[in-house]
Structures are given as C-alpha cells and as structure tokens.
Amino acid sequence: MLGRTYRKAAEKAEKPARKGKKDPNAPKRALSAYMFFSQDWRERIKAENPDAGFGEVGKLLGAKWKELDDAEKKPYADQAARDKERADDEKAAYDNKKGGGSEEDDEE
C-alpha cells in the first residue's frame, strides 16, 4: 500500500508546538511499543552510556530497536497491545460522551 510510502515525521521534521485538540475529551491514544521499549531500555542505555544525553540515548535506542528481531519486539508490542485495551476504554468513554449524552453522570 502506497499509504505509508512517505513518513509524515520526515516531511515535517519539525514541531512548532502543535497544540489544540479537536475532540472534546481527547481519547488519548495508546502508547507505542517504543514507549515500553524505552522504559525498559532507558536503564540499559544509561547504564552503558551514563554520559549519553538526550540525543545519544535517543538515537541509540532507535538503533537497538531496529536491531531487535520481531520476536524481541513482541514483548514490547504486547505491552503496547495491552495499553491499547486501556486506550479502548478511554475511547469508550469518549464515544459515550460524544454520543447524545443526556445524562451527564459526573466526571471528576
């Protein structure tokens, strides 16, 4: 599929503080496998690169990520999948409100 032929990230390659949400309650998406991958690897990267700052660790992380095999990404993807379920709940609430909500129970 020609879909992801281009990388939006590579296109903009810049982030001029994009803010402003369109959704009323913004059903935040789930985390990415990288999020979990970093949580576990950030320790190792820093362990072997105590001097590594943001750029170094970031690039190292990405490099390692690609080095990993599909089987190694699996556990991380699994965590991401788990979080997705959580995100699904958020979306459920989002859909609930978005719907014609006559009764607004309460929200914190």
For position 2 contacting DNA by CB under 7 A, the verdict is yes
Least spacing, CB of residue 91 vs DNA, in Å: 5
Q: Name 9's Cβ contacts closer than 8 Å, sequence gap at least 6.
A: none
If the CB atoms of residues 17 and 71 are measured against DNA, the closer one turns out to be 17
**Both tokens assigned to 25:** 């309650």
User: Residue 42 and residue 33: Cα distance in Å, rounded?
Assistant: 14
Least spacing, CB of residue 104 vs DNA, in Å: 20
Q: What is the DSSP letter of 3?
A: G
Residue ranges in 45-74 that form contacts with DNA under rule CB under 7 A: 46, 53-55, 57-59, 61-63, 65-66
